[in-house]
Amino acid sequence: MIVPAMPIRIVDMAGSALMILLAFFCMQRVIRLRRSDPDNLVWTYLVWLCCCLAGFAISRSGGHILKQFLFMAGQERLWADIGAAAGSINTFLLIIVAAVTLFFNRVRHVYQQISTDKQALETAHNELLELNQSLEKRVRERTDALVQHEKQMAHADRLASIGQLSSGIAHEINNPLGVIQGYTQLLLRDADEGSQRHSDLQIILKHAGNCKAIVEDLLNFARRSQPEMADIDIHEVIEDALVFIRHRSKMENVRIEKVFADNIPAMRMDEKKIKQVLVNLVMNAGHAVAEDGTITISTRFDTEGRKLMVDVADNGYGIESRHLSRIFDPFFTTKPTGEGTGLGLAVSYGIIKSHGGDIDVKSEPGNGAVFTVTLPVGKTALPGGLQHG
């Protein structure tokens, strides 16, 4: 059979040249692949495979091209010598490529195992780190809470001791004061109006009355007087307290903002005493903001804990941290002498405690203060919120 030689020759020459060219491109690409992730064992395997394949392609194709040139030059005998060596190299490289290929599955399996172990180690490391951080945070939080709790306990103990002392003193003073007031009123009946004796007795009666008020405050602080409980609407009590303050104090320029929650149930409390607390807190806030400031009164209801919170916040000059621990002590005041007895907050503390609640203050100098009154809402209270106009 006679056939044209050119197709075979062209395919052989062009194919060989292409094989060499492609082998170089493959090498370039596989090196880039390995550089992208040098730890990847599968890429290392591919480098080996491509190296052997490129070696084979170059050896075989180079041999073919050389053979064609030698045949064209009539050097068939020379090719017979070179061809044997080239063929041996081809055989050798072909076996290496095949041998390397057989390791593919094992290499991939090993790499997967390493990757899985690495991932597991990283996960465990991160979890440990997170646990450690979480533990440190929890210890810090618990320590802070403990310190805070200890401070509160110490404060409560101190106030209880003061209350006990005050209660004893007030009780002892209350009876003689009553006698003084009684006898002064008897003497006043006999004294002529407008006489020196009458005005002196009036002064005695007035100051005895002042003393009586202080003693009552002390008794309120010491929780000796039982609150008279009734169902009340806290928002109405707040409104009444504000009306009272507007009539009795000079707070025309102070802005009062109200943020009332609409889910507050009716509550059983002593209306007068709660009003007294609110008056005390708002008056204090008024003093703190001076003439031009804002007082915000807000109510919140914790449905889960069944607690009512009333916040009285001002944007005044705030309270220094050294005063915060003594703010509810009787007779403690930062006001100038004669402007306050220092019993307002102590009495408020006593009233709130007698209702089973708590009163707290948060303040930073220059950023105002927030007094929070927390009162328990009994289960007997009416369900649902009260309607406010």
Nearer CB in complex with another protein: 1/250 = 1
Q: Which residues of 368-382 are buried (b: 16+ CB within 10 A; e: fewer)?
A: bbbbbbbbbbeeebe
φ and ψ at 64, to 5 degrees?
A: -65, -45
> What is the C-alpha to C-alpha distance for residues 163 and 277, in angstroms, rounded to an integer?
17
> What is the C-alpha to C-alpha distance for residues 291 and 370, in angstroms, rounded to an integer?
18
Q: Are 49 and 114 in contact (CB under 8 A)?
A: no
Nearer CB in complex with another protein: 7/389 = 7
Closest separation in Å from C-beta 117 to another protein? 18
Q: What is the CA radius of gyration of the chain?
A: 48
Closest separation in Å from C-beta 129 to another protein? 15
Alpha helices of 233-270 — where are they, by DSSP H? Answer: 234-248
Q: What residues line the site for another protein (CB under 8 A)? A: 1-8, 11-12, 14-16, 18-19, 22-23, 25-26, 29-30, 32-33, 36-37, 40, 43, 46, 50, 53, 57, 72, 84, 87-88, 90-91, 94-95, 97-99, 101-102, 104-105, 108
Closest separation in Å from C-beta 93 to another protein? 9
Nearer CB in complex with another protein: 22/191 = 22
> What is the C-alpha to C-alpha distance for residues 310 and 269, in angstroms, rounded to an integer?
14
Nearer CB in complex with another protein: 3/366 = 3
The phi-psi region of residue 129 (left if phi > 0; otherwise alpha if psi is between -120 and 50; otherwise beta) is alpha
Nearer CB in complex with another protein: 84/194 = 84
For CA atoms 171, 172, 173, 178, give the dihedral sign: positive
Looking at residue 299, the DSSP 8-state letter turns out to be E
Give me the amino acid identity at 231: D
Closest separation in Å from C-beta 36 to another protein? 4
Nearer CB in complex with another protein: 40/75 = 40
DSSP string covering 305-331? TTEEEEEEEE-SS---HHHHTTTTSTT
> What is the C-alpha to C-alpha distance for residues 184 and 209, in angstroms, rounded to an integer?
11
Closest separation in Å from C-beta 46 to another protein? 7
Nearer CB in complex with another protein: 3/247 = 3
Closest separation in Å from C-beta 29 to another protein? 4
Nearer CB in complex with another protein: 32/326 = 32
Residue 294, SS3?
strand
Closest separation in Å from C-beta 50 to another protein? 7
Query: Judging by DSSP bridges, how do beta strands 267-269 and 294-302 pair with one another?
Result: unpaired
Nearer CB in complex with another protein: 93/282 = 93
Closest separation in Å from C-beta 128 to another protein? 19
Closest separation in Å from C-beta 53 to another protein? 7
Q: Which of 102, 90, 107 minimizes the C-alpha distance to 52?
A: 90
